[in-house]
Structure 1
Amino acid sequence: METTIEPIDRVAITLGPFQIYWYGAIIMSGALIGLWLAMRESERRFLPKDTFVDLVIFALPISILFARAYFVIFKWEYYSAHPNKIIAIWEGGLAMHGVLIGAVLTIIVFAKIRKISFWKLVDILAPSLILAQAIGRWGNFINQEAHGGPVPREFLENLYLPNFIINQMYIEGTYYHPTFLYESLWNFGGFIVLMSLRRANLRRGELFLTYIIYYSFGRFFIEGMRTDSLMLMEYLRMAQVISVVLIFVSSLTIWYRRKKGYSDIRYLDNGVIELRD
């Protein structure tokens, strides 16, 4: 007899003709918690409290746009046949590397306009970003996406997962690896690491670059377990390629900035003098 397990309803709230999906609500919750964290830290780092509110007003929609565009481009065979689905972000399909591209480009422009160090901004943001990612992965959980290959139920039970996670990993008659959970836990660990490194008073820019290296390292291995990867070629996963490139470029950037003296200012410095940034 086939097991019947009802998935969690993707709709969180229905208000008349309007529906709020768990996916969007979780993504926004992660963004708002990250914003609150950055606002608290910005005061300690001698920036106006509303700096990150102003930044997020631009960065959030631009990042979502880039995240969706990135996903759609690599799934163009499907979306060219279903153009009405291109804007259906509540169904999932926001690529994290697209988010990073959109966010970094926005911060570069914002930093130039406000005459604030780009590296100072992204160092403050780094823990917020990885925490938002950790929270946001639970949107994938609700949508039953970003999972790995099939596994027996006993495998999930041996991980001591609660039943609501095990049951949500039951999709069309098969249980799957909860890779969303692996990445969420990896990112929560990264949040703890980055918050600890704040007190270590790293050179400017190195907190953000450490975040990129840490996230990319975990993403490389977790991506190899997923069944829905965006592919660059038949056997080449785009996220793994980008992860390797980001680790290399970030490591090289740390070395180069130290060698040239561009990172002499440290994270906990008061920021009054912004030389050679």
Structure 2
Amino acid sequence: MNSILATSIEFANLGIKLNNVGKSISIFGVDIAYYGMIIATGMILGIIVTCAEAKRTGQDPNDYIDFAIYAIIFSVIGARLYYVIFSWDYYKKNPGQILNIRGGGLAIYGGIIAAIITCFVYTRIKKMSMPRVMDTAVLGLILGQILGRWGNFFNREAFGGVASGKNPFAMKIYFDSHYSITQVPDSVREGMEKMFGKTLEQIGYIQVHPTFLYESCWNLVLLIILLIFRDKKKYNGEVFLWYIIGYGTGRFFIEGLRSDQLIMPVTGWPVSQVLSLILVIVGIAFAIYMRNKLKKDVDDTSEIEI
């Protein structure tokens, strides 16, 4: 195998080849995972954006710094708990790995659920409007998601099934010390060997959908839309509502491409697809309800004024 390519990740159709892509950097003899650095950077920038939005809308940024501290702690716990629960076949045999998050294994939906619960408790204690807080914090949340997905890039994870050579975004991951052939999902191995007519050992790499990139780009578009929409909202909570509809829609389709889906026991359904579908349906139903409610309120007010 070519020694240069052996440490590469390549987007051949885009003319991009990145050599020597490691998983960590050594600082004063201590290995620090890029995954953790990227997640931490996303959190910090997310807090900055959230505080800026709070100040812009006449709120106290300090309230959001306090909220962020609690939300981050419980979101990390929730994200890990969600991942472990739906990967229990592995963790029941390797309980010592349950607390090891340096190499990945954080599920965004678990983090979001934990953050919503934290928001509920926090706003009750502080006597703040939960819908308004969610509208304010969601912009930082999306930014964190946009950046956080790139941790998956360095970890060589959260990618999709085999991509054809015609796919402009097809990503080649070469086998090396950071990603071994034993880590390849069975579905990807079978797809690669069928497409190339060779064994995976002979091919020397996998060519897959970079679903982490798809989701990062989808979230970027969603962030831009919400930044434009935020001053046009009709009620508190509407920005967050359209976030769950928009994110749920994108995640539903992107999850269908992934080769490392977390599966619901018994049903065999990808849990993130099921949850995405529920969020979209509930979100649309609530949006319709609120639109009709606001229209009724306007009609009632008009009748009184007459």
TM-score (norm 2): 0.78
Aligned to 1:99: 111
* 3-state SS, counterpart of residue 25 of structure 2: strand
Aligned: 1:142 with 2:174 = no
Measured in 2, the distance between the counterparts of 1:28 and 1:260 equals 41
Letter in 2 for 1:217: T
Q: Deviations over 1:67-110 (max 9, x none)?
A: 00000001111001111111111111111110111100000111
2:248 to 209, 216, 241: 216
Change (3 A) 1:78 1:253: same
Contact 1:5 1:167 in 2 (8 A): no
CA distance in 1 between counterparts of 2:87 and 2:261 reads 10
2:51 is aligned with what amino acid?
Answer: M
For the pair shown, which has the larger CA radius of gyration, 1 or 2?
2
Whole-angstrom CA distance in 2 between matches of 1:150 and 1:224: 13
Structure-1 separation of matches of 2:26 and 2:51: 29
Aligned to 1:269: none
Partner of 1:273: none
- State the alpha-carbon separation in 2 of the partners of residues 148 and 42 from structure 1: 37
Q: What is the aligned length?
A: 256
C-alpha separation between the residues in 2 aligned to 1:215 and 1:46?
27
Displacement of 1:177 in angstroms is 1.1
Contact 1:21/1:90 (CA < 8 Å) preserved in 2? yes
CA shift for structure 1 position 48: 1.1
> In structure 1, what is the Cα distance between the partners aligned to 2:152 and 2:159?
8
User: Does 2:43 correspond to 1:31?
Assistant: yes
Q: What are the within-5 Å matches in structure 2 for residues 196-207 of structure 1? A: 196-207=228-239
1:5 corresponds to? 6
TM-aligned CA deviation for residue 189 of structure 1: 0.6
Distance 1:194 1:88 in 2: 35
Alignment of 1:50-61 (within 5 A): 50-61=62-73
**Does the C-alpha gap of structure 1 residues 200 and 149 become closer, same or farther in structure 2, counting only changes over 3 Å?**
same
Give the letter aligned to residue 14 of structure 1.
I
Q: Which runs of 5+ in 1 are unaligned?
A: 265-277
Q: Distance in 1 between matches of 2:122 and 2:281?
A: 26
In structure 2, what is the Cα distance between the partners aligned to 1:169 and 1:63?
Answer: 33
Give the CA deviation at 1:122: 0.4
Does the Cα contact within 8 Å between 2:172 and 2:206 map onto a contact in 1?
no
The one-letter code of the counterpart of 2:236 is R
Per-residue deviation, residues 127-179 of structure 1 (Å, max 9, x unmatched): 22112111100001110110011235x345x34x8xxxx45476632121111
Q: Which residue of 2 aligns with 1:225?
A: 257
1:239-250 aligned at under 5 Å gives the runs 239-250=272-283
**How many angstroms apart in 1 are the aligned matches of 2:272 and 2:239?**
22
8 Å contact kept, 1:111–1:117: yes
- Residues 87-126 of structure 1 mapped to structure 2, 5 A cutoff: 87-126=99-138
Report the equivalent of 2:163.
151
Paired residue secondary structure (1:230):
coil
Per-residue CA distance 1:160-219 (angstroms, 9 max, x = gap): x8xxxx454766321211111011100011110110101323322110000000000000
1 CA distance for matches of 2:60 and 2:229? Answer: 23
58, 66, 74: which one pairs with 1:46?
A: 58
The alpha carbon displacement at 1:234 in A equals 5.5
Gaps of 5+ in 2: 9-20, 182-204, 298-306
Contact map agreement 1:67 1:96 (CA 8 A) in 2: yes
172-181 or 88-97: which moved more?
172-181
Contact 2:46–2:140 at 8 Å: present in 1 too?
A: yes
Q: Specify which of 80, 84, 96 is matched with residue 84 of structure 1.
A: 96
Secondary structure at the counterpart of residue 55 of structure 1: helix
1:15 paired to 2:28: yes
SS of residue matched to 1:50: helix
Q: C-alpha distance in 1, partners of 2:101/2:212? A: 18
SS at match of 1:134: helix
What value does the CA root-mean-square deviation take over the aligned residues?
Answer: 2.3
1:252 Cα deviation from its structure 2 partner: 2.2
Residue 102 of structure 2 aligns to a residue in which SS? helix
